[in-house]
Structure 1
Amino acid sequence: MNKSPYISFVFTGRNDNYGGDFKQRLQNCVSRLFSQLVEFDISAEIIFVNYNPVSESPRIQEFIRWPKSTENVIIRIITVLPAHHKKFIEQNGIKNIPVIEYLGKNVGIRRSKGEFICAMNPDILFPDKFIQKISGNLYQDRYYRANRIDFEYDNGRKKLICINLKGHTHKLKYYSGLLYLWLKIRYGVVNWYMINTIKIESLLNRLSIPVYYDNVEFRFHCKSSGDFMMMHTRFWKEIGAYYESAPIALHIDSLFVVQAAMSGLKEYVLDIPVYHQEHERRYLADNRNEEENTAYRFFQRESQKMLKEKKSMNYNNHADWGLNTIDLPEIYC
């Protein structure tokens, strides 16, 4: 590639079977994204951060079938070795899980070469129209978000589960443009109410009606933000990317949305949803333990602080975020 790519797509994982079928989900994601970028002639790079790989499993190069890079679409694999992972855990005193997702994403973000960076997850599928929509005319003063439809395969057919919108999850039996319009209007009204209850809290308290003090996720599109967050490279790096040394990797993607919004960028929600291949999860939103509740309270507290002070926060206020001073192994496919 002679010129810098227009978009860098960054995601992370490793050669294991996280969620029961990670290998297949990763293969679907990589194959589809690569073919779409080639088909629509988009100058891009796909960066997979191979985080803390399992030595007993096939190397990531053999774990899935990687497409061969073209002049216009480059595939890069950057490896964070187990020794790097262990040192990071020890130095930061964080929970030791196999993949520190936001450190992995930061590694790719820090080393990306694109004008815009899309941080995503390795089981996301984009509709063709979505890829065409982001293929040009992106604005530097915006951060781009997307709604997400969860689905699973049932006897080879896609079975829709739910759609994640700003502040809400709505169960699905089918999906259409008309349904999407109705949900957008419906939850737009609900969000407006939840943001503004605090303005009439005295009245609502007298009527024993709930007041939503923790309302930031109804103000900004924080839902499922780890699956698609895109903006100009300059702002990823000015804000300092994701908070990588949080005790557990929960709500860090949501916090970054608020960081982006409070840095002065405008939120733009694309009108075509992305699709997520459903799987078993480490954390369940409907069954939170105290550790997870603590992470949610941190997200709300820090977000409200940024709203009050009307400025963004940089949680990686050091030169080494994204393991910047470490020479990590990298291969091109």
Structure 2
Amino acid sequence: MTKRDPYLSIVVVSRNDDHGGNLLQRMQLFVDSLYEQCNQYKLKTELIIVEWNPLPDKASLKEALSWPVEREYMVTRIVTVSPEIHATFKHADKMPIFQMIGKNVGIIRAKGRFILATNIDILFSDELIQFISKKKLKEGCHYRVDRVDVDTCVLMRRAKDNLLSLCGKNIIRYNKKYGTYDYRELKGAIPVFVKRTQDFVSRIKVFLSDGYPLIHSNACGDFACMAKKNWISLGGYAELEMYSFHIDSIILILGHYSGIREIDLRSPMEIYHIEHSSGSGWTPGGGEQKLFERLKSDSIPYLVWEDLLQYARDLRHTRDPTKTIIGNNKPSWGLGDRALPETIIR
């Protein structure tokens, strides 16, 4: 690392395919908001967009998105994984993106001292970016936040609207450490307190009976922040050629049993997730059922909760990831042995 390197690298994976509906609009909000916040709080950041398996008949992300003029504290790097490389993975004909392998592509190439892996439909609270800008993040720690799901009406905001204020007025649900709470159903302090208590007791029972650690793995694919040296020591996300469900939790479990301390940042340090179309990703309720029906219909493999419990049990007893159902990645994880084309937007 040099003094010229960014303090933070933010890694996302995407392509121009309208996944989840209004994808370019979601990405534009993500980019615009992030540029504005990093400049406001003088946080030297690089945004790494891994453009995985781009469609030949669609504009590239560089061409399809508008890039803010004010870039004093932000540099964007677009790393492209070609359709030819994508085709070498199992189930490539049914899965257009291998999200966690894509994030590894960005992680292994990141220049920041700390790396935040997130997604393109996420907005960060000002308090969260301000906290990171103070440069007090510590090596050996894994930082987590709560995810707040908001209605898609925020995509239709007018120029005069404050985006984050609009998010706060259109909350659907909270994804917290021990459970998910539907904001529209659980109105009032008492119902929320009862639900949170029930979820906490349930997690304690799972911990005592199955050994699943008391970590904040709820919606962890949308915010995982560690020092780059810790990402490297853990070997990145497990590169399983399957749907990404639960893969984001594996590195948290591995980190826990490897001595990395979890730090849960409290509200108002949180992230906002713009709701996507039902079944396009994991969404509590009907969306979850649609997703699994689609995966089953297309014969796309994915991890289930029992797989995660078994992984946690194995690590708890052996502390050796090579002796679990999910082994270590290859030395070339993140396509580290490939020279991938890169575009820099300065």
Task: With the length of structure 1 as denominator, give the TM-score of the two structures.
Answer: 0.84
How many Å apart are 1:67 and its aligned residue?
2.8
Residue of structure 2 equivalent to 1:205: none
Q: In 2, distance between residues paired with 1:303 and 1:96?
A: 29
Q: Structure 1 vs Structure 2: percent identity of aligned residues? A: 30
The equivalences for 1:216-295 within 5 A come to 216=212, 219-271=214-266, 272-280=269-277, 281-284=279-282, 286-287=288-289, 288-289=292-293, 294-295=303-304
AA partner of residue 26 (structure 1): M
Residue of structure 1 equivalent to 2:149: 150
Contact 2:51–2:81, Cα closer than 8 Å, also in 1: yes
Contact 2:143–2:265, Cα closer than 8 Å, also in 1: yes
AA partner of residue 60 (structure 1): L
Higher strand content, 1 or 2? 1
User: 1:50 aligns to what SS in structure 2?
Assistant: strand
Residue of structure 1 equivalent to 2:80: 79
How many Å apart are 1:68 and its aligned residue?
4.8
AA partner of residue 162 (structure 1): R
Residue of structure 1 equivalent to 2:127: 129
Q: How many equivalent residue pairs?
A: 314
Residue of structure 2 equivalent to 1:12: 13
Q: Report the CA distance shift for 1:100/1:118 in structure 2 as closer, same or farther (over 3 A).
A: same
User: 2:87 aligns to what SS in structure 1?
Assistant: helix
Residue of structure 2 equivalent to 1:206: none
Q: In 2, distance between residues paired with 1:316 and 1:161?
A: 37
AA partner of residue 245 (structure 1): L
Q: In 2, distance between residues paired with 1:215 and 1:34?
A: 41
Deviations 1:101-155 (A, max 9, x none): 0011000000000000000011100111110112220111210011101011347
AA partner of residue 335 (structure 2): L
Q: In 1, distance between residues paired with 2:46 and 2:69?
A: 12
How many Å apart are 1:246 and its aligned residue?
3.9
AA partner of residue 97 (structure 1): M
CA-based RMSD of the aligned residues comes to: 2.9
Q: Report the CA distance shift for 1:69/1:241 in structure 2 as closer, same or farther (over 3 A).
A: farther
AA partner of residue 299 (structure 1): L
Q: Report the CA distance shift for 1:197/1:269 in structure 2 as closer, same or farther (over 3 A).
A: closer
Q: In 1, distance between residues paired with 2:186 and 2:48?
A: 31
Structure 2: unaligned runs, 5 residues or longer: 158-165
How many Å apart are 1:296 and its aligned residue?
3.0
Q: Report the CA distance shift for 1:95/1:147 in structure 2 as closer, same or farther (over 3 A).
A: farther
User: 2:12 aligns to what SS in structure 1?
Assistant: strand
How many Å apart are 1:94 and its aligned residue?
6.8
Q: Report the CA distance shift for 1:94/1:301 in structure 2 as closer, same or farther (over 3 A).
A: farther
Q: In 2, distance between residues paired with 1:35 and 1:325?
A: 35
Q: Which moved more, 1:4-13 or 1:238-247?
A: 238-247
How many Å apart are 1:71 and its aligned residue?
4.6
Contact 1:263–1:311, Cα closer than 8 Å, also in 2: no
Contact 2:247–2:303, Cα closer than 8 Å, also in 1: no
How many Å apart are 1:273 and its aligned residue?
1.9
Contact 1:95–1:247, Cα closer than 8 Å, also in 2: no
User: 2:36 aligns to what SS in structure 1?
Assistant: helix
Q: Which moved more, 1:288-297 or 1:249-258?
A: 288-297
Contact 2:98–2:242, Cα closer than 8 Å, also in 1: no
Deviations 1:8-41 (A, max 9, x none): 0000100110011111111111110111111110
Q: Report the CA distance shift for 1:133/1:57 in structure 2 as closer, same or farther (over 3 A).
A: same
User: 1:216 aligns to what SS in structure 2?
Assistant: coil
User: 1:12 aligns to what SS in structure 2?
Assistant: strand
Q: In 1, distance between residues paired with 2:315 and 2:29?
A: 38
Q: In 2, distance between residues paired with 1:198 and 1:9?
A: 32
Residue of structure 2 equivalent to 1:328: 340
Residue of structure 2 equivalent to 1:208: none
Contact 1:13–1:49, Cα closer than 8 Å, also in 2: yes
Residue of structure 2 equivalent to 1:27: 28
Contact 2:242–2:302, Cα closer than 8 Å, also in 1: no
